[in-house]
């Protein structure tokens, strides 16, 4: 990762799932970069997990040639964002901070407006005035494809019909970034993530929630009666893709705008029922559960989509991106971490 020497990299959402794994890869990768992480440590899910990620990052920083600084703060605080940029002078900004979750957006819309729109606007404004900036990389989502029936989803597809507020804020973020790239020449790359999973993941994600229910002996809720497909992507594969993109600022496209959008996923949708079966097997192999889960089959949820399926040919063409982690391997790693973190607290994963 010498390509990041001696750059300053600002990662928002640095205590989040993908943010943690990205920063960990940088700290473990032999770079001399200065890494600044920003996160508000909110309680959308258990803040103790975010604190654990930060603990692991601090430990990794102690063994790294890179430097690591954590700042607790909110994207919606414009004064804070300006001061962070003024003090750190980042060359690369990776905006992963966002209010996540499709269903939560139905009942808590304000959180999405504050973080995903106002917060991202504050990042764009800071980038606009940052003389040091070389590249803005920002998280979008497969949710922008809404209920598109054409598969696999391509970056060329129309994404004008979101089925959730979360998706609408993510599409809005893409439009805001494009306008700033065009008006102010900010090299900007958006990444549409597809169902990321793995150790130290988000408890609101289905695989994590299923595991918690199984451990408690409760039934798991399976929507659309199990007839759902997701392009599950292991977090280490995601991080490899993000690192490749970070190192190559967007160049002017055919319209002269330094802006690109990429799908980043597994390019292989899995049946939800197959996913659950593999998860059950991994959890039983780790001794976390002793029998398959009790299952409750329900209709489709509001805001949900039938399937996600990424066409990643553009990312493969430009960066050689190719996911390499089979679902069975990724879920086995998650199960091993879950056992060590929740069932063997005295020996947390390093």
The Cα 57–Cα 42 span in angstroms is: 18
Local confidence band at 148 (pLDDT 50, 70, 90 cut-offs): confident
Residue 349 DSSP SS3: coil
Q: pLDDT band for position 349 (50/70/90)?
A: very low
Alpha-carbon distance 15 to 21, whole Å? 9
The 8-class DSSP code of residue 310 comes to B
**Measured distance CA(300)–CA(31) in Å, rounded:** 46
In this prediction, residue 347 carries a pLDDT of 47
Q: Give the helix/strand (H/E) hosting 61.
A: helix 47-61
Comparing C-alpha atoms, which of 228, 212, 203 is closest to residue 101? 203
Q: CB of 99 within 8 A of CB of 115?
A: yes
CB-facing half-sphere around the CA of 268: CA atoms within 13 A: 11
Residues above pLDDT 70, as percent of the chain: 98
User: How far, in Å, CA of 153 to CA of 145, rounded?
Assistant: 7
Whole-Å CA distances, 256 to 124, 129, 250, 252, 260: 19, 21, 11, 5, 11
Q: What is the DSSP string of 103-142?
A: THHHH-HHHHIIIIIIIHHHHHHHHHH-TT--EEEEEEEG
pLDDT tens per residue, range 169-215: 999 999 999 999 999 999 999 999 999 999 999 999 999 999 999 99
Residue 303 has pLDDT above 80, yes or no: no
- pLDDT in the model for residue 102: 78
Token digits of residue 218: 């409760």
d(CA 172, CA 192): 13
What does the alpha-carbon distance between residue 90 and residue 71 come to, in Å, rounded to a whole number?
Answer: 14
Which residues are annotated as catalytic?
166
Q: What is the mean pLDDT of residues 19-23?
A: 98
Provide the 8-state DSSP code for 254: T
Q: Does residue 97 have a cis bond before it (omega within 30 degrees)?
A: no
Query: Under CATH, domain 2-195+232-267+308-323 is a member of which superfamily?
Result: NAD(P)-binding Rossmann-like Domain (3.40.50.720)
Residue spans of the domains in the chain: they are 2-195+232-267+308-323
Quote the DSSP letter at residue 36: E
């Amino acid at each position: 990762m010498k390509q990041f020497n001696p750059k300053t990299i600002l990662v928002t959402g640095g205590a989040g799932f993908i943010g943690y794994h990205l920063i960990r890869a940088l700290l473990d990768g032999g770079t001399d970069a200065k890494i600044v992480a920003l996160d508000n440590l909110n309680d959308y899910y258990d803040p103790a997990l975010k604190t654990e990620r930060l603990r692991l990052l601090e430990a990794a920083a102690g063994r790294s040639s890179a430097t690591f600084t954590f700042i607790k703060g909110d994207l919606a605080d414009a004064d804070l964002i300006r001061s962070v940029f003024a003090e750190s002078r980042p060359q690369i900004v990776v905006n992963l901070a966002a209010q996540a979750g499709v269903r939560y957006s139905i009942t808590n819309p304000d959180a999405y407006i504050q973080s995903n729109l106002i917060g991202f606007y504050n990042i764009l404004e800071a980038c606009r005035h940052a003389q040091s900036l070389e590249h803005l990389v920002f998280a979008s989502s497969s949710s922008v494809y809404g209920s598109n029936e054409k598969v696999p989803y391509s970056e060329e597809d129309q994404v004008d019909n979101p089925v959730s507020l979360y998706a609408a804020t993510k599409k809005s973020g893409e439009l805001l970034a494009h306008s700033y790239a065009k008006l102010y020449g900010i090299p900007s790359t958006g990444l549409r993530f597809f169902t990321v999973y793995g150790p130290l993941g988000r408890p609101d994600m289905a695989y994590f929630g299923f595991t918690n229910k199984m451990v408690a002996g409760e039934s798991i809720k399976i929507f659309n009666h199990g007839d759902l497909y997701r392009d599950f992507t292991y977090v280490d594969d995601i991080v490899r893709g993000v690192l490749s993109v970070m190192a190559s600022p967007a160049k002017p496209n055919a319209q002269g705008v330094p802006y690109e959008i990429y799908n980043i996923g597994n390019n292989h949708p899995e049946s939800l029922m197959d996913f659950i079966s593999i998860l059950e097997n991994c959890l039983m192999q780790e001794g976390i559960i002793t029998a398959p889960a009790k299952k409750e089959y329900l209709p489709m949820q509001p805001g949900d989509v039938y399937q996600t399926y990424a066409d990643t040919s553009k990312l493969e063409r430009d960066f050689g991106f190719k996911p390499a982690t089979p679902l069975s391997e990724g879920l086995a790693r998650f199960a091993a971490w879950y056992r060590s973190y929740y069932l063997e607290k005295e020996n947390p994963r390093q």
